[in-house]
Chain A
Amino acid sequence: GAVVSQHPSRVICKSGTSVKIECRSLDFQATTMFWYRQFPKQSLMLMATSNEGSKATYEQGVEKDKFLINHASLTLSTLTVTSAHPEDSSFYICSARAWTGANYGYTFGSGTRLTVV
């Protein structure tokens, strides 16, 4: 089945530094990937939609200059949290979408636990 690899699984960084999270589709091409944020004991909130070769579409309230998304190839999207602060600490999950021939299928990465100290 479709597999999405998300790396790193955990990262601790100092305030003011930047962190890059990678999301790779291993055995399929994904023209669209999604980035979610999940606060403790809450559901997933869509941050942005990443389209290969074009600018990402951000949801309302998400700072595009803080959460930089690059989708340079059909198998890789990256999320960079710039100038991280403790309030950015969260669980980030990516999802890759592929057309199955009849509808869309979504495959999720295993998530990244970001802690900013």
Chain B
Amino acid sequence: AQSVTQLDSHVSVSEGTPVLLRCNYSSSYSPSLFWYVQHPNKGLQLLLKYTSAATLVKGINGFEAEFKKSETSFHLTKPSAHMSDAAEYFCVVSSGEYGNKLVFGAGTILRVKS
């Protein structure tokens, strides 16, 4: 079975400092992994996805994530936080041999201090 663990429910950083949101996964198949961002009362926006190509994935808004099979991790990073990055972030793994369903992590709320 597939599962996702987001290790931090809340992360607080100062504007201009690096962001690290941690995610570990388990999967019976070669996984597809995603990071989504959700602003309050909004839908989800795809930041980036890993689908067995390059292990370092670059996404939108300066975010990137590295797939590490040996550590079963897919941490999200950004070199310099911006106030507009404050939101909730979900790490997601596709479930099943053909990625039939998405399994969501519990989410990490990112707070950016000025």
Could you list which residues of chain A lie within 8 angstroms of chain B, going by C-beta atoms?
4, 6, 34, 42-46, 49, 91, 93, 95, 102-104, 106-111, 113
Contact = CB atoms under 8 A, between A and B. Distances in A.
Contacts, number: 46
A43 B105 contact: yes
Interface of B: 32, 34, 36, 41-46, 51, 90, 94, 98-99, 101-102, 104-107
Given A44-B90, A104-B94, A104-B99, A6 B104 contact: no
B43 A111 contact: yes
A40 to B, nearest CB: 11
Given A104-B94, A108-B36, A42 B106 contact: yes
B55 to A, nearest CB: 16
Given A42-B107, A103-B51, 16 more contacts: A4-B43, A43-B104, A43-B107, A44-B44, A95-B44, A95-B102, A103-B99, A104-B94, A106-B46, A107-B46, A108-B36, A108-B45, A110-B42, A111-B42, A111-B43, A113-B41
Given A108-B44, A110-B43, A111-B41, A43 B90 contact: yes
A26 B65 CA distance: 29
Contacts of B51: 102-103
B105 to A, nearest CB: 7
Contacts of B101: 34, 46, 49
A61 B42 CA distance: 26
A117 to B, nearest CB: 18
Nearest to B95: A46
